[in-house]
Amino acid sequence: MNKKKLPRAIRPEDRRVSDAIAADTPAHLATLHEADDDNLETTENSTAANETTLPGAAEPAADTRRARATKLVERFSVWSGVAGLIPVPFVDLAAVGGVQIEMLRRISQIYEVPFSKNRGRAVIAGLAGSMIPATTGIGMASFVKTLPLVGTAVGAIATPALSVGATYAIGMVFVQHFATGGTLLDFAPPDYHEFIKAQVKLRDSRSKATASSSG
C-alpha cells in the first residue's frame, strides 16, 4: 500500500530541524530580548510619568522661592530700620545702603541670578532716587540729625521708619523682577512704577494693622 506524503508543514524532519535550532540557541539570547522589551516598556512608562509630573512640580518650587525671598525682604527691612537708628548723620545712610545691597545679593542667590556689587549699587540708587519717595525722605531725616537736640530726636524717629519702607519696596521689586526671569542687566525702574506704589500701600496697611492690634 502506498503511503501518502505528509504536508511539508508537518513533516517529521522539519520538526526535528526546528527543535535542533531551538536547542542550539543560547538561553541568554532569549532572556536578553525579553529584558530589552521590559526595559523599553519601563523607559516609556518613566518618560510618561516625568511628562506628567514635571510641569506641576515647577509651580511649588516657584512658590517656595517667592516665600523665601519675601521673608528675607521682611527681615532685611527690619535691619535697615536698625541701621537708621545710628545717630551720626550720613553714616546711617551708608549703613542702610549696605543692608540693601546685601539684601539684593541674597535675593539674587535665591533666584540664581548673577550678582555684581557695582551693578547692584547702581540699580538700587536709580530705583531709589527716581521711584521711591521714602528714600528722599531718608536723606532729609539723616540731615535733620545734624540739628542739636530736636533734630537728633526727629531724625532718630523718621530715619528708621523711612528706611524700613524703602527697603521693603526695593526688595519686593527685585523679587518680582527675578521671579519673571529678569536680571540686574535688564532691570528698568519705570516698568515697576505701579508695582512699587502697590507695595508701599500694602506695607503701610500692614503697619497700621499691627499698630492698632498692639494698641
CA distance 150 to 155: 8
Query: For position 47, what pLDDT does the model report?
Result: 39
CA distance 77 to 70: 11
Query: Which string of DSSP letters, residue by residue, matches 119-131?
Result: HHHHHHHHHHHHH
Using the predicted structure, report yes or no on whether residue 93 has a pLDDT greater than 50: yes
pLDDT band at residue 166 under the 50/70/90 scheme = confident
For 21, the 3-state DSSP assignment is helix
CA distance 212 to 215: 5
Rg of the chain over Cα atoms, rounded to whole angstroms, equals 35
pTM: 0.65
What is the DSSP-derived secondary structure letter of residue 149? T
Give 22-45 pLDDT, tens digit per residue: 444 444 444 444 444 444 344 444
